[in-house]
Structure 1
Amino acid sequence: MLIFLISSLTPFICLGFISFFTIDSIIGNKVENALQSNVKQDLMTLENTLNNLNHVSQQLAYGGGMNKLFEQLDGEKEPYERLRLMNEIRSELNNISFSNPNVGLLMYYDADNRSYNFENFSVRGTFSPDKLPVMGEYPEITYYGPHKSYNGSINQFVFSIMRKVNLLDQDVYLYIETGRNALQSLFAPQNRKEGTRRLLLLDNSGRIAFSEVPQVFSENRMFPELDENVRSGYSGRYFWNKEVSNQGWSLVSVVPEQELNRERNQWLMQIMGIFLIFLVVAMFFAWVLWKMVYRPLDHFHKEIKSLIHSNAKEHTELTHIPEFDYLLYQTRSMKGKIWALYEEIEQKEKRRADLEVEKLLYQINPHFLMNTLDTVHWLALMNGQEEIDKLVLSLNRLLYYNLGKMGEASTIGDEIEALKEYLQLQQIRYDFRFDVDIDVDEKSLALRSPRFLLQPLVENALYHGVSDEGYIYVGVEFQEDGLQITIQDNGAGMSQATIDRLLHEDTKESHKVGMGIGMIYVKRILQANYGDAAKLQIRSEIGKGTVVSLRLPSLGGERTP
C-alpha cells in the first residue's frame, strides 16, 4: 500500500509543485503587469489633464488679446470704459472655459495685493496658493495637487497650475483648476475598479506631495525608493509601481501585499483540496489492490519457491485465479526449457575439448607450412639460388599477412606491402611482362584498412585484363572526407552487362569465375566494415582497359598507433 501511494502521489506532487511555481509566476506577472498598466494609464490621464491646463494657461498668459485688454484696463480711468473692458475679459474667459470642459475654476491672482479677480466660479474660503501642495515648480509655472478645490460649487480633489502673466509692471498670475469629474476616477478610491489600490504623488525631488495611505507613506516625507530606473518593489507590507512624468514628478500605485497574493492563495487552497481528495481516493484504491492482489500474489510466491526448490518436473497446484494460473503454466514451461538448455550446454561442453584440439590443428598447419618455407629460403640462400630465395621469401611474407585474423588491425601501408610481395610472385610466375605503378599518399599509410582488400582487385586486373606489355596503376589518395583508391589497367576491358553483374548480382555463375569471387569478397568486406558509407565503382571499355574506384570513409579518421 505504501509503494502504491508513493508511486501514485509522487507524479501528482511533482506536477503540483511545477504547476504551483508556474501559475504563481503567471499570476504574479499578470497582477504586476496589470498594476503597471493601470498606473501608466493614470499617469497618461493626469498628464493629458495638466497639459490641457498648461495649454489654456499659455493662451491666456501670452495671448496678445487678453494681455492688451489688461494693459488697457490698467491705464483706463473712466468707469464706464473700465466696466466694458472687464466684461470683455470675462467674456473671453467664459469662452475659453466653455471650449475646455476639463477646466474648472479660473481666475487671475494679484500677488502684491493677495487678491483675485475675474473668477468664473465662486471661490470657497480664503485663497492662499502658499498652502497648496507643490507637485513641480518651474520658473514660469507651478503645478499643485491634488487638493480640495476652491470652487464653491464642487467638493472634489483637483489639480491646479499657476502661471505668471506676461504684463509690464504687474505681478499678476493665472490660476486654473481641473474641472468637475475630470479626475474623479483617479483620486476617488470609491470609484476606482481596484478598490485596494491607492495612489501617491511625488514631486520632482521625490517628496510625497499627496498620499492615500498616510499611515504608511505620510506626506512631506521622502519616498523610500528614489532610483528612477527602479519602477516596482516592496516597501513594508505594500507592493508599489512607479511611473515618472515628463515634467519630473511621479505617480505611485501601492497595493497591500496580502491583496496581491489573494489570487494565488485561492489557487493554492484549491490545489490542496484536490490533493486531499486525490489522497483519499488513492488510499481507497491501495486498500482494494491489497485485497485483490497481495494475498493471491503471496500464494503465487510460495508456489514459485516450491518450484525452485523441488526436483519434481511437474506440478499441478493452482491458485484458481486465471491470471496467476496462466503465469504458473508459463513458469513450468520455462522450467522445462531451462532443463533442456542445461542438457544442451552439457553436450556443448563435451564437444568443447574436441573443438580446442581442432583449433590447435588448424593453427599448426599454416605455421608448419611457413616454417617449411622458411627452411627452403635458407637452403636456397646457402646454395646461391637467389630467384628461388626471392620467390620463397615473398611467398612466406604474403602467407603470413593473408593468414592473419580478420579482426586484427591492418593499415593501408600493410596492404601495400602485401600487394608488392604478391606482384613480385606474379612477375616470377607469369611468362609475360607487365609494369605496375603504385602511387600512395604518405598521409594514408597509417590509416586502418580491412585486411586483404587490394590484392583481389589487382589479381582480377592481372588475371583478366593485362597481357604482355601490360600496365597496372594502383593509386591511394588521402582526402579530407575519406580515402580514394584507384586500380587501373590497360587490358581487354569488359562490357556494361558484365560490370552490372559483378556489382549487383551474387549468383552461382559469378562464383565460377575468379573475378566474380574476388569482387564478391571485396563487396562483402566493404559492407561489413563500412556499411553504405563505402562506394565501389567500375568503369571499363572493350579493348582499352578497366578502372576500379574505391571510395572509403576515413574509418572515423583513426590511425593505427
Structure 2
Amino acid sequence: MKLNFIQRYRQLTFKNRIITIFILIILVPFICLGLASLFTINSILVNKVEGSIQSNLRQDVLTMENTLNNLNHVLQQITFGGGTNKLLEQLQNETEPFERIRLRNELKSELNVITFSNPNIGLTMYYFKNTNEYDFENFPVRDPFNPEELPVMAVYPEITYFGPHKSNNRSINQLVFSTMRKVNWQDQDVYLYIETGFNATAKLFNSDNPSNKSRRLLILDNEGKITFSQDQEQFPLNSMFPTGNSEIVSGSYGHYIWHKETSNQGWSMVSILPKEVLNQEKNQWYFQIIVYFLIFELAAVILALLLSRMVYKPLEKFNLEIKTLVQSGSKENTDLTNIPEFDFLLLKIRAMKKKIWELYEEIEQKEKRRANLEVEKLLYQINPHFLMNTLDTVHWLAMINGQEEIDKLALSLNKLLQYNLGKSGEATTIGGEIDALKEYLQLQKIRYDFQFDVDIDVDDDAMMLQIPRFILQPLVENALYHGVSDDGYIHVDIRLNDELEITIEDNGAGMLPEKIDQLLNDDSMDSQKVGMGIGMKYVKRILEANYGEQATFHIKSVIGKGTVVSLSLPVFRGEQKR
C-alpha cells in the first residue's frame, strides 16, 4: 500500500503537488490544534454544565429545606403556642351557640394572624381523622381531601412531610409542599395541616425558567423511593431510584445524566437531564469548528491555487521558450512573469536561444561554403585517367626521342596530378604539401620565361603534422602570378611553436589593399587563375571550414617591395579536431 501511495504521488503533476502540500501545511496544524481544543473544550463544557447543574440543584435543595423549615416553624408556633389549641378545646366543650360562634371566629382570627404574617404559608386547617373532616380553613378546600393519597416525602415522629403535590387550595392550581402534625387534644385524632404559599415553589417548578427547561426533577424520600417525578415514564412514582448506591451523587441512566443532592433532613432531590441537551453546547462548538475548518480549507485551496499559478505560469513560459527553440520562424516572445528570479532565467533562456540560432546560421553558412568548395574542386578537376594516360604516353615518347626536358615536365605534372586526386580540404602532412609544391615549382620554372628562386625552410618536427591539402600551392602561385619577375625570390618558412606558423614572402611588385581584397572576396578573379587554378579565396575557405576562428590569415604587401602572407594554425598532435 505504501508503494502504491508513493507511485500515485509520483504521478501527480507539479501543480497538484504544490496544491496538496500547501493544503497539508495549513490544515495539519489546524487539525492538531482542533483536536487539542476538542478535548480541552469538552472537559471544560462537561465541568461547566455539571457544575452548573450541581450548583442549581444544591440551591434548590436549600430552598426546599428553608420552605419545609418554615412550615415546621409555623406548625410548631400553632401547635405549641397554646392559644389555638386552647380555643379549640373551649369550642369543643362549649354548648352555647353564640359562644361557639365567638370562639370559632376568634380561632380563625388567630390562625389568620399566624398565616398572614408568613407570606410563604398557604392553606392552613385542622383535619379530624376519625370523621375525615376538616375545619377552620383559611382558603376554600378542594374536595375530596384525603391526606393518605398525598405523596409522602419524609416521615418523622408525629410529623409528616408531603410533596410536591397539587395544592388542596381550590383557588390555585400549582404544586406545593405540605406538612401535617398531630395535635394533642383529648382522645381524638386531630391534625394540623399546612401548605406552602403561592410563590414558595414557583421558582422550583417553573418551566419558563431557562435553567428548568430541559431538566426534570425527582424527589426521593429517606429510603430512596421516588415521591415526585417530572418524568414518570422513565422514573415512575413509588419506585426506587436506580442509583445502585445511595452515596453516588451523579451518573447516567439510559439517555439521561443525573445528579443527586441529599438534604440535612434525609430526603433527596435528583436532577435528570437528557444527554442530547448536555451535548447541545458541544455540538454547537463542533459546528463552529467545522465551519472554521471549511473556511480554512477554502482559504488553503485559494492560496494553493495562487501559489501554483505563481509557479506554474512561469514554467509554461519556459516550456513555450523551449518549444520555440527549434522553430526558426517563431515570433520572438517578450512577455515576462513579473517575478524577478523567473524573469532573470527567462531572459537567459531567450539570450541562449538567440545565440543558438546565430551559431546555427554560422554552421549553415560554413556548410554552404564547404559544398561550394567541393563543386569548385569538381569544376577544376579533369578526368584523371585520361590525363595521366596521356602524360604517360608523352613521357615515353620524350624518352624515346631523347627529350629530357619534356620528359621531366610530363613526369612532374603526372605526380602533381596524382597528388591532386585527393579531395579538397582532405588532410595531408606538411611533408606531402612540400613535395607537391616542389613538383608545382618544377612545372612553373619550365613554363615562365624568367628566372626566380624559391627557398623552402621547414622545421623537421613539423614535417609529419597534418594540414588540409592545397594550402601552400595557391599562396606560392599568387606570388608568381602577381609579383615575381626576373631575379625574383620566394621564401617559404614553416615553424612549429605553440602554433604552426607558415610564412610565404616574395620580393615582387606588391599589391594595393584593394587588390588583396579582390583576391580574397571577388569570385570574378577565379576566371583569371593560372596553373592549377586554385585561388587565395579557396585557402581562406579551407581554413575557416577546418579551424574556424582558431586560424589566422594575414596578407601584408608594400608596392615595389613585395608581399608577405602569414598563416597561424592550431596544432593537433594526434588529437581529434573539434
TM-score normalised to structure 2 length: 0.50
Match of 1:31 in 2: 49
Offset from partner CA, 1:233-263 (integer Å, 9 cap, x none): 2111111221111111111111211111111
In structure 1, distance between residues paired with 2:25 and 2:68: 64
Match of 2:61 in 1: 43
Match of 1:346 in 2: none
| Greater alpha carbon shift after TM alignment, 165-174 vs 135-144 | 165-174
In structure 2, distance between residues paired with 1:208 and 1:193: 22
In structure 2, distance between residues paired with 1:103 and 1:232: 33
Match of 1:365 in 2: none
Match of 1:233 in 2: 251
In structure 2, distance between residues paired with 1:39 and 1:189: 15
Q: Secondary structure at the match of 1:171?
A: strand
User: Are 1:162 and 2:180 counterparts?
Assistant: yes
Q: Secondary structure at the match of 1:113?
A: coil
Offset from partner CA, 1:128-176 (integer Å, 9 cap, x none): 1111111111111101111111111111111110011133433211000
Match of 2:266 in 1: 248
In structure 1, distance between residues paired with 2:289 and 2:198: 48
Match of 1:223 in 2: 241
Kindly provide the amino acid, as one letter, of the partner of residue 152 in structure 1: R
TM-score normalised to structure 1 length: 0.52
Offset from partner CA, 1:340-370 (integer Å, 9 cap, x none): xxxxxxxxxxxxxxxxxxxxxxxxxxxxxxx
Match of 1:136 in 2: 154
Kindly provide the amino acid, as one letter, of the partner of residue 165 in structure 1: V
User: Are 1:74 and 2:92 counterparts?
Assistant: yes
In structure 1, distance between residues paired with 2:338 and 2:125: 104
Q: Secondary structure at the match of 1:186?
A: helix
Kindly provide the amino acid, as one letter, of the partner of residue 112 in structure 1: N
Offset from partner CA, 1:188-239 (integer Å, 9 cap, x none): 3245544212211111111111111112111111111153432222111111
What are the within-5 Å matches in structure 2 for residues 98-177 of structure 1?
98-177=116-195
Kindly provide the amino acid, as one letter, of the partner of residue 158 in structure 1: V
Match of 1:54 in 2: 72
In structure 2, distance between residues paired with 1:322 and 1:148: 86
Kindly provide the amino acid, as one letter, of the partner of residue 134 in structure 1: V
From 198, 212, 233, the counterpart of 1:180: 198
Match of 1:6 in 2: 24
- How many residue pairs align between the two structures? 311
TM-superposed deviation, 1:274? 1.2
**Residue segments in structure 2 that go unaligned for 5+ positions in a row:** 1-17, 319-336, 346-578
Q: Secondary structure at the match of 1:150?
A: coil
In structure 1, distance between residues paired with 2:36 and 2:205: 40
**Residue segments in structure 1 that go unaligned for 5+ positions in a row:** 301-318, 328-561
In structure 1, distance between residues paired with 2:102 and 2:185: 20
In structure 2, distance between residues paired with 1:175 and 1:104: 10
From 279, 300, 304, the counterpart of 1:286: 304
Instruction: Identify if the C-alpha distance between structure 1 residues 192 and 85 changes in structure 2 by more than 3 Å, giving closer, same or farther.
Output: farther
TM-superposed deviation, 1:11? 0.7
The answer (yes or no) to whether the contact 1:107–1:175 under 8 Å persists in 2 is yes
The answer (yes or no) to whether the contact 1:62–1:165 under 8 Å persists in 2 is no
In structure 2, distance between residues paired with 1:291 and 1:188: 63
From 96, 100, 111, the counterpart of 1:93: 111
The answer (yes or no) to whether the contact 1:62–1:166 under 8 Å persists in 2 is no
TM-superposed deviation, 1:88? 1.6
From 290, 313, 335, the counterpart of 1:272: 290
The answer (yes or no) to whether the contact 2:205–2:212 under 8 Å persists in 1 is no
The answer (yes or no) to whether the contact 2:214–2:273 under 8 Å persists in 1 is yes
TM-superposed deviation, 1:66? 2.2
Instruction: Identify if the C-alpha distance between structure 1 residues 141 and 192 changes in structure 2 by more than 3 Å, giving closer, same or farther.
Output: farther
In structure 2, distance between residues paired with 1:208 and 1:171: 28
The answer (yes or no) to whether the contact 2:206–2:212 under 8 Å persists in 1 is no
Q: Secondary structure at the match of 2:204?
A: coil
Runs of 4+ more than 6 Å apart: 294-300, 324-327
In structure 2, distance between residues paired with 1:18 and 1:299: 45
Kindly provide the amino acid, as one letter, of the partner of residue 195 in structure 1: K
Q: Secondary structure at the match of 1:267?
A: helix
Between the aligned residues of both structures, percent identity stands at 59
TM-superposed deviation, 1:98? 0.9
Instruction: Identify if the C-alpha distance between structure 1 residues 149 and 321 changes in structure 2 by more than 3 Å, giving closer, same or farther.
Output: closer
Kindly provide the amino acid, as one letter, of the partner of residue 196 in structure 2: T
Kindly provide the amino acid, as one letter, of the partner of residue 37 in structure 1: S
User: Are 1:213 and 2:216 counterparts?
Assistant: no
In structure 2, distance between residues paired with 1:246 and 1:236: 29
The answer (yes or no) to whether the contact 1:185–1:192 under 8 Å persists in 2 is no
In structure 1, distance between residues paired with 2:208 and 2:308: 61
Instruction: Identify if the C-alpha distance between structure 1 residues 102 and 234 changes in structure 2 by more than 3 Å, giving closer, same or farther.
Output: same
In structure 1, distance between residues paired with 2:276 and 2:209: 22
In structure 2, distance between residues paired with 1:295 and 1:95: 95
The answer (yes or no) to whether the contact 1:228–1:244 under 8 Å persists in 2 is no
In structure 1, distance between residues paired with 2:313 and 2:131: 105
The answer (yes or no) to whether the contact 1:184–1:191 under 8 Å persists in 2 is no
Offset from partner CA, 1:259-306 (integer Å, 9 cap, x none): 111111011111111111211221222232233236869999xxxxxx
Kindly provide the amino acid, as one letter, of the partner of residue 144 in structure 2: T
RMSD: 2.6
Match of 1:468 in 2: none
Match of 2:207 in 1: 189
Offset from partner CA, 1:496-554 (integer Å, 9 cap, x none): xxxxxxxxxxxxxxxxxxxxxxxxxxxxxxxxxxxxxxxxxxxxxxxxxxxxxxxxxxx
The answer (yes or no) to whether the contact 1:105–1:179 under 8 Å persists in 2 is yes
Q: Secondary structure at the match of 2:143?
A: coil
